[in-house]
Structure 1
Amino acid sequence: MTTQSEPGRDRLDPGLSAIVSERRQLINLAYRLLGSLADAEDVVQETYARWYAMSRERQEAIESPGAWLTRVASRICLDLLGSARARRESYVGEWVPEPLPDRTEWISVRPGGSAVDPADRVTLDESVSMAFLVVLESMTPAERVAFVLHDVFCHSFTEVAEIVGRTPAACRQLASSARRRVRASHPPATPAAQQAGIVRDFKQAWEAKDIEALVGLLDPDATMVSDGGGLVSAVLHPIEGSEKIARYIIAIADLAPNLAILERTVNGQPGLVAQHNGVTVTVAAFDVPGNRIKHIWAVRNPEKLWPWTAEAQN
């Protein structure tokens, strides 16, 4: 049985492409706010669900659909950040943000000479580096939302106030406090080519199990944070000191003799990916503020590695 279409319903909604085009921006925003690509995708899906749950009349009454989608997504993230703080306090081991899967080798060129750019691709810049995301994790939910919306996405404090539920002046103070945290914890980055060379030397020393070379590449006060989950046991506390870190990663290599270590871009920075029998088991991000590695974040939780593992198995 067929039914007659309502006038205009069989024609393409002229506003549809504008709504859909906001998806990438929303993914970028939600990932920076939550530090999790999976959670960011859930937020965007919920945001669109709320849009399409409205009547056509209500949709057409909204002057700027893009601004509406941003407000809704940001408010969902703000709520999630409050509950995430409680979840992460009970997390076994240290919490590390979910690494973005950019699997291009540093020295390779993508097929065809151009980058694949799907709607869900997160723009890789300084605001998604692991070091930056770790600083964001130290902020209150309101600080994080105010700072990211204003300093990263250039929204006015009036717009931020509507999302956070505070005055523009209060939001200005939140962003200022967050900015001080970033400046105190996030020194200027070493040029990418220099970082890549240092991380590559680290990879080669790891493969050679050369403890002296590893210690030489690490800052004496370096810190390594490793998470876990599922069947992967977590390292409950950060490993501090160059020699302790060197001995720990050599022990990992001893336990997995078939470990393959690959050079990959992790959140826009030179990083390493460890695969065992073709399955990604660790994604390592590095902070190299000078000539030595200051921080290593090793993501081992399988729930955070599924995009990397899916790529490895293709």
Structure 2
Amino acid sequence: MDTEMLYTTHRPLLFSLAYRMLGSVQDAEDIIQDTFIALNGTEAEHIQNIKAYLCKMVTNRCIDRLKSARKKREQYVGEWLPEPLLTENTQSEDPAHQMFMKESVSMAYLLLLQQLSETERAVFLLKEVLQYSYEDIAEMVGKSSTNCRQIFHRAKKSIGSPSEEKKITKKGASLTEQFFRALTSGDTDTLLSLLSVDATLITDGGGKIKAAIFPILGADRISRFYQGILPKLPKDVSYTFTTVNSEPGMILTVGGRVYAVMSLHIENNRIQNIYSIMNPDKLTHISA
């Protein structure tokens, strides 16, 4: 069986699974590469369901990666956010992947997934999103089908079902542009008018870039926070509007280098959540 063809066909789906498991673009790419290197050492033509086999390989590697990273995550400085994923032109001919991408990949939902254990996360995604049977999932994660059923219902009760990805409307895009222009110009009144009263700002600097250690709650506090940091930004900062994790966002660059990526969650024509990733280790896959 042609490994290169298998890679081209199944990579989008496998990456989507790994990214949702790990919250890391770079780690997901590593897992995919490792999976296909390992596949080269097997007799792939004798595998009856190659997609399920690849999902099993990716799932188990993700679980191992998550377990080995527990201590590092516990010692992470400040708030942890997933690595941003630019989703403006995400396409695939694979029906399973098309379905997968319809399910929310927003920052908020990825953070909910992070609250689940490694096995809970795997079982939930394989059942809820990829719609594998409990028997298939049991074989993938090394549990009984009855146990997998219990794990799934526990996970679903904990975080609910993924919401279908919404198209970014012209109004949403316009609101995003208004927000960033108000931000960069210091227009406090406009900024406050665009934010929900109970809006939340989460910044992730990873201890390498100065950022808020805890979430900032409320429009007034968010406005004051930005008033304090904006004068300290370099003069040559520029920004590009794009789609980040299926929601309106932007890429900030300084001197030709990506400085931050932001994603906005909009509800009722107001900005409800702002996610700002500044940790340089989480931005290496994004071009300026």
C-alpha distance in 1, partners of 2:56/2:86? 27
C-alpha distance in 2, partners of 1:26/1:187? 20
TM-score, scaled to structure 1: 0.80
1:192 to 155, 168, 171: 168
| Alignment check: 8 A CA contact 1:214 1:246 kept | yes
2:55 to 57, 63, 70: 70
Residue number in structure 2 paired with 1:236: 213
C-alpha distance in 1, partners of 2:165/2:104? 12
Residue number in structure 2 paired with 1:154: 131
How far 1:254 sits from its partner (Å)?
A: 0.9
| Alignment check: 8 A CA contact 1:30 1:77 kept | yes
C-alpha distance in 1, partners of 2:256/2:216? 27
1:304 aligns with 2:282: yes
How far 1:207 sits from its partner (Å)?
A: 2.2
Deviations 1:71-130 (A, max 9, x none): 11111111222233332111011110000134x6xxxxxxxxxx58699xx975443121
Taking only the aligned residue pairs, the percentage that are identical comes to: 34
3-state DSSP of counterpart to 1:214: helix
Matched positions, count: 281
TM-score, scaled to structure 2: 0.86
Structure 1, unaligned runs of 5 or more:
1-12, 105-114
1:25 to 13, 17, 25: 13
How far 1:307 sits from its partner (Å)?
A: 2.2
Residue number in structure 1 paired with 2:29: 41
3-state DSSP of counterpart to 1:96: coil
Report which of the two structures shows the higher radius of gyration computed on alpha carbons.
Answer: 1
Q: 1:206 to 1:19 in 2, by over 3 A?
A: closer
Q: 1:19 to 1:196 in 2, by over 3 A?
A: closer
3-state DSSP of counterpart to 1:306: coil
C-alpha distance in 1, partners of 2:136/2:52? 9
Q: 1:264 to 1:100 in 2, by over 3 A?
A: same
2:202 maps to amino acid: V
Structure 2, unaligned runs of 5 or more:
none
C-alpha distance in 1, partners of 2:121/2:278? 25
Q: Give matches, 1:1-314, under 5 Å.
A: 17-18=5-6, 20-54=8-42, 58-102=43-87, 124-183=101-160, 192-193=168-169, 194-229=171-206, 231-256=208-233, 257-308=235-286, 311-312=287-288
How far 1:39 sits from its partner (Å)?
A: 0.5
Deviations 1:5-33 (A, max 9, x none): xxxxxxxx557524552222211211111
1:88 maps to amino acid: R
C-alpha distance in 1, partners of 2:7/2:191? 50
